[in-house]
């Protein structure tokens, strides 16, 4: 509807402008010049507008369909206008009565123009590949330009046989070009109908004066018809141009959106890679210790292989698959990586089972514990598992660092948001929240008194059954899970179950 309204408004405005220009001619503005009159400046301006419009349309089409043959075909509208322009310029420079040589020159220009227009259109396969509604609009503008141009050179009555043959060549050019293009059915019905009307108006404009019927109301009707179809083509061309620009802007916006999403995805993947590589580098360095017991070394190898497998899945773009995770085992494996980085992580688990992707849970816990060390200034963290109800298990990750200022808490999960003085990218918490949400859970910042911060990961619990009832275990101190990996400063990883 907006496209139709824009076409109508532009067409009406063009019609009024064309009427105003035509009313400024030296002779009756509805009749063509006679042998004793010359075209006015207004008539030249109108003709020039349509010639330029046909040329611009051909240029647009040529940029879409590069190539010698295709470029010649898409320039059909401009070639029709050029044929009429060449004939008119020669006629204006040779006042009647014209000699045989001048008439032969006019006929030669007309024939060359017809061959240049019609012959390329006789290859239907080539034409079908390039013809569209924009092409038809260009042809319509070229025909209107020809209609105005061919009525500007002085005429004599009755015309000589040579001039009658020239008129036949020009009309054949217009008719054949329109028929060959319309048979491709590349334009909408209104545009195709307007092209037929345009051909009819242009043909009548050439046939009426030689018959002696020109004058008075007939000339006025023909001029009004030429002005109306010209205004219609200008309206359609302007509206089509605006629509093409809007479509192009939408494509640009969509490309920018895809580019932003791709850049965001790459940054998130690099964030996860850096975190994983840091753990692998630390673990690899610890494997070089000669005093490392064989059992501990085997556990380190297992942890490193697990992280390498996770990195391979991430690089391959394999999405995390949800599975039943026994948190005692899963958290022990996940937090091994943090222990390799020298973090002191205390775990309290109740033996619950959740439904979640292992890779996603691993990434979320790594982000929270890494943030505590990088931004909170502490390597001390506590991970606690608590069954909230029959459907939800909460995993609380608490650190004892600097904490998060109250004014920054509402936006910590927004992508790209980071605290004052932070050297991070503001990506980690947003990624963590997205991963937990995709797993059917939630991640939130819990209220906490005292130093540090506390995050709660809520995941769907696997419903207990009488055959497989996992009772929570009593929280009692136990031996360290990896006592041989105690760091020189005495930090250790502990598990209570």
Q: What is the pLDDT of residue 485?
A: 41
Q: What is the pLDDT of residue 478?
A: 33
Rounded to whole angstroms, how far apart are CA atoms 231 and 243?
18
The more confidently predicted of residues 351 and 464 is 351
Name the domain boundary from 235, 255, 275.
255
> Where does the pLDDT of residue 239 fall: very low under 50, low under 70, confident under 90, or very high at 90 and above?
confident
Q: Are 243 and 389 contained in the same domain?
A: no
pLDDT higher than threshold 70 for residue 322: yes
Residue 177 in domain: yes
- Range scoring the smallest mean pLDDT among 110-124, 137-151, 260-274, 352-366: 260-274
Residue 448 in domain: yes
Query: Residue for token digits 């910590």?
Result: 412
Q: Are 212 and 343 contained in the same domain?
A: no
CATH value at residue 379: 3.30.565.10
> Where does the pLDDT of residue 197 fall: very low under 50, low under 70, confident under 90, or very high at 90 and above?
very high
Q: Are 234 and 368 contained in the same domain?
A: no
- Residues 482-489 have a mean pLDDT of 39
Q: What is the pLDDT of residue 473?
A: 38
C-beta of residue 220 within 8 angstroms of C-beta of residue 29:
no
Q: Are 245 and 333 contained in the same domain?
A: no
Residue 279 in domain: no
Q: Are 239 and 335 contained in the same domain?
A: no
Give tens-digit pLDDT for 84-115: 999 988 888 887 778 889 889 999 999 999 99
Count of the separate structural domains present in the chain: 2
Name the domain boundary from 238, 255, 272.
255
The more confidently predicted of residues 113 and 406 is 113
Q: What is the pLDDT of residue 98?
A: 80
- Residues 234-244 have a mean pLDDT of 84
Q: Are 213 and 355 contained in the same domain?
A: no
- Range scoring the smallest mean pLDDT among 225-234, 448-457, 463-472: 463-472
Q: What is the pLDDT of residue 24?
A: 54
Q: Are 211 and 345 contained in the same domain?
A: no
C-beta of residue 22 within 8 angstroms of C-beta of residue 227:
yes
pLDDT higher than threshold 60 for residue 69: yes
Q: What is the pLDDT of residue 469?
A: 47
> In angstroms, what CA-CA distances link 225 with 192, 203, 212, 218, 219?
17, 12, 19, 11, 10
pLDDT higher than threshold 70 for residue 374: yes
Q: What is the pLDDT of residue 138?
A: 92
- Residues 426-436 have a mean pLDDT of 85
Rounded to whole angstroms, how far apart are CA atoms 129 and 146?
26
Q: What is the pLDDT of residue 243?
A: 82
C-beta of residue 375 within 8 angstroms of C-beta of residue 381:
no
User: Count of CB atoms within 10 A of residue 405's CB?
Assistant: 10
> In angstroms, what CA-CA distances link 155 with 33, 152, 198, 206?
8, 9, 23, 11
Give tens-digit pLDDT for 10-62: 777 776 777 666 665 555 544 555 555 556 666 777 888 889 989 988 888 88
Q: What is the pLDDT of residue 471?
A: 45
Q: Nearest CA to 150 among 219, 53, 84, 228?
A: 84
Q: Are 249 and 349 contained in the same domain?
A: no
Rounded to whole angstroms, how far apart are CA atoms 163 and 13?
37
Q: What is the pLDDT of residue 414?
A: 84
Residue 196 tokens read as: 């037929």
* HSE-CB of 397 using CA atoms within 13 angstroms: 24
What is the total residue count of the chain?
A: 497
C-beta of residue 133 within 8 angstroms of C-beta of residue 188:
yes
Q: Are 338 and 239 contained in the same domain?
A: no
Q: Where in the sequence is the domain holding 352, given as residue range(s)?
A: 323-479+491-496
- Range scoring the smallest mean pLDDT among 211-220, 379-388, 481-490: 481-490
User: Count of CB atoms within 10 A of residue 410's CB?
Assistant: 10
Q: What is the pLDDT of residue 205?
A: 83
pLDDT higher than threshold 90 for residue 178: yes
Residue 428 in domain: yes
- The percent of residues above 70 in pLDDT, for the chain, comes to 76
Give tens-digit pLDDT for 254-302: 766 665 555 666 666 676 777 677 767 777 777 777 777 887 777 778 7
Q: Are 131 and 17 contained in the same domain?
A: yes
Name the domain boundary from 205, 227, 255.
255
The more confidently predicted of residues 343 and 463 is 343
DSSP E strand stretches across 290-379? 322-326, 344-348, 353-357
Residue 283 in domain: no
Query: Burial code of 167-200, b = ≥16 C-beta within 10 A, e = fewer?
Result: bebbbebbeebbebbbebebbeeebbebbeebbe
Residue 295 in domain: no
The verdict on whether omega for the bond into residue 158 sits within 30 degrees of 0, i.e. cis, is yes
Q: What is the pLDDT of residue 388?
A: 87
Q: Are 376 and 248 contained in the same domain?
A: no
Cβ within 8 Å of residue 141, ≥6 positions away: 50, 53, 54, 57, 77, 81, 233, 234, 237
Residue 220 in domain: yes
Residue 349 in domain: yes
Q: Are 14 and 152 contained in the same domain?
A: yes
């Amino acid at each position: 509807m907006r496209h139709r309204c824009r076409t109508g408004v532009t067409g009406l405005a063009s019609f009024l402008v064309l009427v105003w220009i035509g009313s400024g001619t030296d002779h009756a503005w509805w009749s063509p010049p006679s042998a004793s009159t010359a075209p006015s400046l207004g008539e030249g301006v109108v003709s020039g507008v349509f010639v330029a419009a046909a040329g611009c349309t051909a240029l647009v089409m040529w940029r879409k369909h590069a190539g010698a043959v295709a470029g010649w075909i898409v320039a059909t509208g401009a070639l029709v206008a050029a044929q009429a322009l060449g004939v008119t310029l020669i006629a204006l420079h040779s006042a009647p009565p014209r000699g045989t040589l001048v008439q032969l020159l006019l006929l030669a220009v007309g024939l060359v123009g017809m061959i240049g227009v019609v012959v390329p259109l006789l290859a239907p396969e080539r034409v079908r590949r390039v013809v569209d509604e924009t092409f038809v609009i260009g042809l319509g503008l070229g025909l209107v330009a020809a209609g105005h141009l061919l009525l500007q050179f002085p005429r004599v009555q009755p015309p000589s046989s040579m001039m009658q043959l020239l008129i036949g060549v020009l009309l054949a050019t217009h008719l054949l070009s329109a028929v060959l293009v319309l048979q491709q059915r590349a334009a909408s019905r209104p545009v195709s109908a307007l092209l037929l009307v345009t051909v009819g108006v242009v043909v009548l404009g050439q046939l009426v004066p030689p018959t002696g019927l020109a004058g008075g109301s007939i000339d006025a009707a023909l001029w009004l018809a030429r002005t109306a179809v010209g205004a219609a083509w200008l309206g359609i061309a302007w509206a089509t141009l605006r629509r093409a620009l809007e479509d192009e802007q939408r494509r640009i916006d969509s490309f920018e959106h895809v580019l932003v999403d791709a850049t965001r995805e790459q940054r998130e993947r690099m964030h996860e890679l850096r975190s994983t590589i840091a753990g692998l580098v630390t673990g690899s360095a610890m494997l070089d210790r000669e005093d490392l017991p064989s059992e501990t070394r085997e556990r380190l190898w297992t942890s490193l292989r697990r992280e390498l497998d996770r990195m391979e899945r991430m690089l391959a773009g394999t999405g995390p698959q949800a599975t039943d995770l026994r948190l005692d085992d899963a958290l022990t494996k996940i937090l091994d990586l943090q222990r390799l980085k020298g973090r002191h992580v205390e775990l309290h688990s109740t033996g619950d089972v959740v439904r979640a992707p292992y890779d996603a849970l691993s990434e979320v816990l790594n982000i929270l514990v890494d943030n505590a060390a990088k931004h909170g200034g502490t390597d001390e963290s506590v991970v606690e598992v608590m069954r909230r109800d029959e459907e939800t298990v909460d995993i609380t990750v608490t650190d004892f660092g600097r904490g998060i200022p109250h004014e920054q808490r509402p936006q910590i999960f927004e992508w790209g948001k980071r605290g004052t003085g932070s050297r991070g990218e503001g990506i980690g918490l947003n990624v963590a929240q997205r991963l937990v949400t995709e797993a059917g859970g939630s991640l939130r910042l819990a209220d906490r008194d005292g130093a540090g911060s506390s995050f709660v990961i809520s995941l769907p619990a696997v419903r207990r059954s009488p055959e497989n009832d996992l009772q929570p275990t009593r929280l009692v101190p136990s031996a360290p899970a990896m006592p041989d990996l105690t760091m020189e400063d005495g930090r250790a990883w502990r598990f209570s179950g």
